[in-house]
């Protein structure tokens, strides 16, 4: 049983899980929803993008330049495996 | 370097997972597809079916005089679909592939089947000159499209991770190409 160390931080697990609800989300939408600062969200997204867990691309939202974030296939697989391990851990005590 | 075998306590794992899933559910619940937007799409589908049926269903000698109505129908649907997707994206700050393909472009089984039946019925009625029946078929097609969309919204809210993504863009392009070829064939056969 092994958890993905890159998803151990609750904030990253929440970010990745939240992204499974959409095809892609605008940066400020994610920031407001997760109630984190720009810098915190940027840091997590940057780290996850380096692992190819999320992708980001520039776009326009309400007339201003912004960044759209999406889960990648690699990220989806990593999250799925991580969550399966978490569920095994939880089931072990039930 | 974090240790992969450094497992959290089950209670911690449960709390982290619960928080993550609650965040996902909250986002899904916040994303609203306005009923007016679905209603407008339903009207556009009904209009497109009716215009296509009228465009193709005239007497043989007059057919080419009205075939432009088929194009008008496609434009009406395209404008309504584009408006719905643009407004949703602007208001919500997210893009939902499932909404675009299953609801707007009707790739769900219910939407595509009801659309095909309504279109077939409307064209048949137009060929027979039964214009009231043609209108009923077009209206039923639009209503079924809306109901199918509402069903998808409910399914999405229950399992956002399962329903968020739609069909790949390549498949949607293939479906659009088949639809265009079908329409052109119908026109040429006329």
- Calculated CA dihedral for residues B133, B137, B138, B144, nearest 10 degrees: 160
Taking CA–CA distances from A92, the nearest residue in chain B reads B10
pLDDT of B58 reads: 67
For residue B96, list chain A residues with Cβ-Cβ distance below 8 A: 22-23
For residue A62, list chain B residues with Cβ-Cβ distance below 8 A: 90
Indicate which of B17, B26, B31 best probes the interface with A, i.e. most A CBs within 10 Å of its own CB.
B17
CB B160 to CB A21 under 8 A? yes
Buried-state track B67-76, b at ≥16 Cβ within 10 A, e below 16: bebbeebbeb
| Cβ–Cβ contact B61 with A under 8 A | no
CB B94 to CB A23 under 8 A? yes
What distance in Å separates the CA atoms of residue B183 and residue B173, rounded to the nearest whole number?
15
Q: In chain A, pLDDT over 90 holds for what percent of residues?
A: 80
- Res B134 pLDDT > 90: yes
- Given A21, A62, A90, which is nearest B14 (Cβ)? A90
- Given B10, B19, B95, which is nearest A89 (Cβ)? B10
CB A21 to CB B4 under 8 A? no
What distance in Å separates the CA atoms of residue B160 and residue B154, rounded to the nearest whole number?
10
pLDDT of B44 reads: 97
What distance in Å separates the CA atoms of residue B56 and residue B174, rounded to the nearest whole number?
23
Task: List, in sequence order, the alpha helices (H) in chain B.
Answer: 10-30, 35-56, 63-66, 68-92, 97-98, 109-128, 131-158, 160-163, 169-189
Least confident of A14-23, A42-51, B120-129: B120-129
Instruction: Mark which residues 23-62 of A lie under 8 Å from B by CB.
Output: 23-26, 28-29, 33-34, 61-62
Query: Which positions ≥6 away from B18 have C-beta within 8 Å?
Result: none
- How many H-runs (helices) and E-runs (strands) does chain A carry? 4, 3
Indicate which of B18, B94, B172 best probes the interface with A, i.e. most A CBs within 10 Å of its own CB.
B94
Domain limits, chain B = 37-189
Mean pLDDT of all residues belonging to chain B: 87
- Res A36 pLDDT > 60: yes
pLDDT tens by residue, A40-77: 999 999 999 999 999 999 887 667 788 999 999 999 99
For residue A8, list chain B residues with Cβ-Cβ distance below 8 A: 2, 6, 8
Average pLDDT over residues B129-151: 95
pLDDT of B5 reads: 53
| Cβ–Cβ contact A90 with B under 8 A | yes
Smallest CA-to-CA distance from B79 within B51, B48, B106 is with B48
pLDDT tens by residue, B30-48: 988 888 889 999 999 999 9
Smallest CA-to-CA distance from B73 within B190, B160, B187, B189 is with B187
Please state the ipTM of this predicted complex.
Answer: 0.90
Q: Which residues pair with A54 in a beta bridge?
A: A71
pLDDT tens by residue, B70-83: 889 999 999 999 99
Phi, psi at residue A71, to the nearest 5°?
-75, 145
| Cβ–Cβ contact A2 with B under 8 A | yes
- The whole-angstrom distance between A9's CA and the closest CA on chain B is 9
B25, B95 contact by CB (below 8 A): no
CB A22 to CB B164 under 8 A? yes
pLDDT of A62 reads: 67
CB B20 to CB A92 under 8 A? no
CB B20 to CB A14 under 8 A? yes
| Residue owning tokens 């939902």 | B96
Instruction: Name the helix (H) or strand (E) containing A59.
Output: strand A54-61
- Res A92 pLDDT > 80: no
Residue B19's pLDDT band, with cuts at 50, 70 and 90, is very high
pLDDT of B34 reads: 81
Class of domain A5-87: mainly alpha
């Amino acid at each position: 049983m092994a958890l993905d160390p890159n998803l151990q931080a609750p904030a990253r697990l929440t970010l990745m899980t939240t992204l499974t609800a959409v095809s892609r989300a605008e940066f400020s939408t994610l920031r407001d929803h997760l109630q984190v600062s720009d810098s915190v969200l940027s840091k997590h997204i940057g780290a996850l993008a380096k692992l190819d867990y999320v992708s980001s691309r520039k776009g326009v939202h309400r007339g201003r330049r912004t960044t759209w974030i999406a889960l990648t296939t690699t990220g989806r697989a990593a999250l799925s495996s991580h969550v399966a391990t978490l569920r095994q851990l939880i089931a072990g005590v039930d | 370097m974090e240790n992969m075998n450094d497992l959290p306590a089950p209670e911690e794992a449960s709390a982290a997972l619960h928080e993550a899933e609650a965040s996902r559910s909250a986002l899904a619940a916040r994303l609203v597809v306005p009923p007016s937007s679905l209603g407008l799409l339903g009207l556009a589908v009904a209009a497109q079916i009716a215009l296509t049926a009228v465009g193709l269903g005239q007497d043989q000698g007059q057919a080419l005089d009205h075939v432009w109505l088929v194009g008008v129908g496609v434009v009406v649907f395209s404008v309504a679909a584009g408006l719905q997707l643009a407004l949703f994206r602007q208001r919500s700050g997210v893009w939902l592939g499932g909404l675009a393909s299953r609801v707007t472009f009707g790739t769900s089984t219910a939407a595509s089947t009801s659309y095909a039946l309504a279109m077939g019925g409307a064209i048949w009625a137009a060929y027979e000159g039964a214009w009231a029946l043609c209108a009923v078929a077009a209206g039923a097609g639009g209503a079924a499209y809306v109901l199918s969309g509402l069903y998808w919204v409910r399914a999405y809210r229950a399992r956002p991770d399962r329903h968020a993504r739609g069909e790949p863009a390549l498949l949607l392009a293939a479906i659009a190409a088949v639809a265009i070829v079908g329409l052109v064939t119908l026109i040429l056969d006329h």
